[in-house]
Chains A and B, each alone.
Chain A
Amino acid sequence: MHLDAILLARLQFAFTIAWHIIFPSFTIGLASYLAVLEGLWLATKRESFHTLYRFWLKIFAISFGMGVVSGVVMSYEFGTNWSVFSAKASPVLGPLLAFEVMAAFFLEASFLGVMLFGAKKVGPGLHFLATCVVALGTLVSAFFIISANSWMQHPVGFEIDARGRFVAVDWLQVIFSPTFPARLAHMVLAAYLSTALMVGAASAWRLLRQPRQPESNIALRMAVGMALIVAPLQLLIGDVSGKLVGEYQPAKLAAIEGFWETKGHQAFNLVAWPDRAVQANRFAVSIPELGSLITHGAADAVVPGLKAFAPKDQPPAAVVFWAFRIMVGLGLLMILQGVVGLVLWLMKRLETASLYLWFSVAMGPAGFVAVVAGWATAEVGRQPYVIYGQLRTVDAVSPVGAASVSVSLLTFVVVYALVFCVGPLYIVRLIAEGPVKADIGEGSMSRAPGSALGAGVEQ
């Protein structure tokens, strides 16, 4: 296989998966949020919850569409670009992906129709059920895809057959591999947190324009509450996940922390420039002792450095190091956002503290950036392997020439540039209009009367 084709295939996967992951993260969180809103509306009959539901449902519909179409790409890309991986790993991973389709995708896709267009057709109880089923579907989908990915991070419960295929010998071990529970929790919390930040940003924006707007007031409090609880929890879960990385993927941990030498009393590198070419950090701002303490709980703990691995077995250290820092840095800001929000809330100044509201607006996309950075840490950190320790990425690629991969990469870049600029633009427009304006605008001037979605969510 030509090296260019491998690089292009990698680029294509990184490009398509990075765009894809944003939208499921948003829809996992939004689906649950919508279920909560509709449940609250049915329970309290407060119209504000219904207004919020209809507002976020429109944004959900756009995001879900983008998640679906970019997800279909993924299900074929395994075969087009990574056919050797597919042929070898399918006996283990195929069932997990098939279960995702059968147990989750159909559920989401079918009940989404009822959720978007069925309010008048099925009655409030059944409609609420449809919302809950869609929310459940998003979580089931996360379950199987994280299960598959966790197995690739730390493959267990398998053997290799005469044809070189990975064959499951213990399905429970495969599905519930050791890093899976923490990684699933980390992902779902990330989705909830990212969604809370978007809801918070939208509400803060509205309150800056229109103080005391009641729906935005409610939504902002819900978002602050979520950030307050979930952001610190996410730090704890992330730490558990990180400890597992240290246990099962020491090379990744070394890259995350910029450790090169294997030793006790590792310093913690606050910022650094790890460079594989020189097998060292070109510069580093460090805190002594803290590295061993954070990663292994004791300052004298011996932590392997990257030099313990042959250069061909090392992940690209700089990408992993910085992706991790972006994720954690944003995570710390999210904790700050929750805590400051609580203080302002207790001081009864939450909806008028314009500096805080601006901060919340700025933090709107932070969850998605953190999600992409987190996945970059996990996936780039697993390199040079696609199945850790078992199958190298270079050995997993399809027998397809660089020309074909270039054409498809270009196609995806052009189509994604269009779709993933316009979609967020429409979402931002809806957010700018705010819940009530967008609701009144329905069916009058902004969209054609009787248009499918306009009519569907109007009721």
Chain B
Amino acid sequence: MTLDLPLVWAGLLALAVLLYVLLDGFDLGVGILFPFAGSDKDRDVMMASIAPVWDGNETWLVLGGGGLMAAFPGAYAILMPALYLPVTFMLAGLILRGVAFEFRLHGRNRGKPFWTWAFAGGSLLATLSQGLVLGGFIQGIKVEGDHFAGGPLDWATPYSLAVALGLVAGYVLLGAGWLVLKTEDALHGLGRLWAMRASVAVAAILAMVSIATLLIHPLIAIRWGIGAHQIDFPRFLPLLPIPLMGAVGLLMAYAGARSDTAHPHTPMVGAALAFLSGYLGLAVGFLPFIVPYAMTYEEAASTPGALKLILIGAAILLPVTLAYSAWVYWVFRGKVGADAGYH
């Protein structure tokens, strides 16, 4: 039996991106929520809760970029020029919030408040930009031959802005869920409140974006079996569990945040289910295209030799990576207190 190398890599890369979205999603969400905390002390706790893990989380983004380049250079070479400006702004945001972890500790009178805002602003900018990248990706990219042939602002549409707002709400939900899990007292209460509000916002924006996606992409509507006047049930019903999972996830997030007795994992798990639902929903709409409706993952794939080499590497390294990443989360398990966290 021979492996379908491009398919395996499409799956691995999809997994890496999903992991990135879930993991860096919560720490970016905590960053966006930063200014809304009640006190500097709470902000210290918020930052302390993600400080040991954010760098590992962000590395999945580097794997996303590096992996796309290594496994699907055809797509990398089209998507990066097409999404040039949002990618640039994402990087700028990630720089500002990434250095803020350290800089905020060393800033003094003006420095500390500045880096507090840089952390929040950078997190928001990075998230909005990622949303614009996603929106620009979904709405389609103009390709001629094997290169990008559109304009520099093709991504800037109301649709991609809606996607960006949805991603902000989604990351905030993940971040709030993280705070519910990791913090106590007043901050824990705020986390619950934020999670409730964010799950409502995600539900509203996700519904709106889903409908908009069906409208701007007739091909996606056909794949989902949703026509202007009728629904193609034999197509639609098997896919129904996907949106249902999203709805259940958001309900879980809301209810879990609302209830005092729910397990503290509940809002995060619910949020993750909602993300998974959106992710699978897009996969249904786009497979096997890696640049929507312009290039399939097979056309974009690197050479068999290269794919094989990195697959051997990944087969050894990724399980080890997942294991020690999990170990790090385990080391830093439990609640983060204002003073108790690291003593």
Chain B residues packing against A (C-beta within 8 Å): 40-41, 44-45, 47-48, 51-53, 55-56, 58-59, 61-63, 65-71, 73-74, 76-81, 84-85, 87-89, 91-92, 94-96, 98-99, 101-103, 105-108, 111, 146-149, 152, 302-303, 305-306, 309-310, 313-314, 317-318, 321, 324-325, 328, 331-332, 337-339, 341-343
Contact = CB atoms under 8 A, between A and B. Distances in A.
Given A87-B77, A448-B41, A70 B105 contact: no
A72 B94 contact: yes
A452 B53 CA distance: 12
B62 A110 contact: no
A250 B80 CA distance: 35
Contacts of A11: none
Contacts of A416: 95
Interface string A286-315: 000000000000000000000000000000
A68 B94 CA distance: 10
B321 A106 contact: yes
B58 A72 contact: yes
Contacts of B68: 79
Given A86-B73, A95-B313, A398-B148, 12 more contacts: A69-B95, A84-B77, A86-B80, A94-B306, A98-B67, A102-B317, A109-B58, A113-B51, A168-B305, A412-B92, A448-B44, A455-B341
B281 to A, nearest CB: 26
A400 B81 contact: yes
Contact of B66 (A98, A163, A168, A426): A98
Interface in A191-237: none
Pick the 4 closest A-B CB pairs, nearest first.
Answer: A79-B80, A94-B70, A90-B73, A113-B52
Contacts of B111: 422
B89 A90 contact: no
A407 B156 CA distance: 15
A404 B87 CA distance: 11
Given A83-B76, A167-B305, A101 B62 contact: yes
5 contacts: A415-B96, A450-B41, A450-B45, A451-B44, A459-B343
A90 B306 contact: yes
Nearest to A96: B70
Given A102-B318, A106-B59, A398-B81, A94 B69 contact: yes
B91 A72 contact: yes
A401 B81 CA distance: 10
Interface in A53-91: 61-62, 65-66, 68-73, 75-76, 78-80, 83-84, 86-87, 90-91
> Which has the most chain A C-beta neighbours within 10 Å: B77, B321, B325, B331?
B77
B51 A452 contact: yes
A113 B328 contact: yes
Contact of A111 (B71, B74, B148, B324): B324
A449 interface: yes
A61 B51 CA distance: 11
B342 A120 contact: yes
Query: Which one of A100, A121, A452 has the highest number of Cβ atoms from chain B below 10 Å of its Cβ?
Result: A452
A86 B63 contact: no
A450 B102 contact: no
Nearest to B93: A415
A117 interface: yes
Contacts of B81: 79-80, 83, 398-400
B152 A121 contact: no
B interface secondary structure, majority: helix
Contact of B99 (A75, A113, A423): A423
A114 interface: yes
Interface in A437-456: 446-456
A419 B94 CA distance: 12
Nearest to A414: B92
Kindly state the interface size class of chain A when it binds its partner: 35 or more
A238 to B, nearest CB: 30
Nearest to B40: A448
A83 B55 contact: no
A171 interface: yes
Contacts of B341: 450, 452, 455
A108 B303 CA distance: 29
Interface string A164-194: 0101110100000000000000000000000
Interface string A104-125: 0111111111101110111000
A452 B79 contact: no
Contacts of B324: 106-107, 110-111
Nearest to A16: B91
Contact of A94 (B62, B99, B302): B302
Contacts of B98: 65, 68-69, 72
A326 interface: no
B62 A120 contact: no
A407 B89 CA distance: 10
Given A80-B88, A399-B147, A448-B44, A109 B55 contact: yes
A101 B146 contact: no
Contact of A90 (B55, B61, B87, B302): B302
Nearest to B100: A65
A118 B84 contact: no
Nearest to B68: A79
A413 B92 CA distance: 10
A136 interface: no
A177 B99 CA distance: 36
A117 B302 contact: no
A450 B66 contact: no
Contacts of B343: 120, 455, 459
A400 B66 CA distance: 20
A454 B91 contact: no
Contacts of B309: 95, 168, 171
Nearest to A407: B85
A68 to B, nearest CB: 6
Interface string A22-56: 00000000000000000000000000000000000
B99 A87 contact: no
Contacts of B76: 79, 83, 86-87, 90
Interface string A391-411: 000000011110110011001
Count chain A CB atoms within 10 A of each CB in B73, B146, B305, B337 and give the residue with the most.
Answer: B73
Given A65-B98, A109-B56, A426-B103, A400 B317 contact: no
Given A120-B342, A430-B106, A90 B70 contact: yes
Nearest to B342: A455
A332 B240 CA distance: 71
A398 B82 CA distance: 10
